[in-house]
Amino acid sequence: MKETKYAQVLRLRNRLYGCLRSRGRLVSFGEVDSFGYFLGQQGPISMNGRWVAFGMRSGSRSGTDFEFRVVDLSRRAVVRAPLPVIQALAPLPDEDTGFTAVSVTPRGTAAWIIKSYGPSPNYEVWTADTALGSTSFRSRLVAQGSDIDPLHLRTTETRVGWLRAGQQQSAPRR
């Protein structure tokens, strides 16, 4: 599916896994939630060193939830799993709704763009306020609007950048 010189992400038997090339042990990213629904990767995957970042989407007849995860492959664990980003009240009619861009830095901090549920496209840029070694993080909305480029996202340890109406925008991570 995706690979770098340090790690790879692959799909086996409808589950998503990652592994560091130096260790060769698989880390499962897919799971079944407490309601018995499969929670699966949705949208782009970003890899940087030992870190993998991706969006998750779970659905049922009552709605769809999205959440963002960052996995540390060297610790073989999801170290940052925030509360759901979006909780839709009805099943999504638009399969394009969800994560459109994802970025993770060499220290595991991340940012993402998500297309939110609604009659017209609305994009939201999120960043994570993280601390290395933490097991969770607080996500923060930094921008939203229909004029945000859904595929343009850049991130560093201190800033997140995106395009709005063709103009470069940025915000501090914290």
The domain ranges of the chain are 2-172
User: Which amino acid makes up residue 8?
Assistant: Q
Q: What is the pLDDT of residue 40?
A: 62
Q: What is the pLDDT of residue 125?
A: 92
Q: What is the pLDDT of residue 43?
A: 73
If you search the block for the tokens 């540390």, which residue do you land on?
72
Q: What is the pLDDT of residue 164?
A: 96
* Spatial separation of the C-alpha atoms in residues 169 and 154, rounded to whole Å: 10
Q: What is the pLDDT of residue 89?
A: 35
Task: Convert the pLDDT of each residue in 55-104 to its tens digit.
Answer: 876 665 556 667 788 888 988 777 665 555 554 433 444 555 678 899 99
Q: What is the pLDDT of residue 68?
A: 80
Q: What is the pLDDT of residue 35?
A: 52
- Whole-model pTM? 0.79
Torsion 88-119-53-9 (CA) sign: positive
Q: What is the mean pLDDT of each run of 10 residues along the chain (174 residues)?
A: 86 79 82 53 82 76 70 80 48 61 88 79 80 61 92 91 96 82
Task: Let me know: does 108 contact 80? Beta carbons within 8 Å.
Answer: yes
Task: Let me know: does 54 contact 64? Beta carbons within 8 Å.
Answer: no
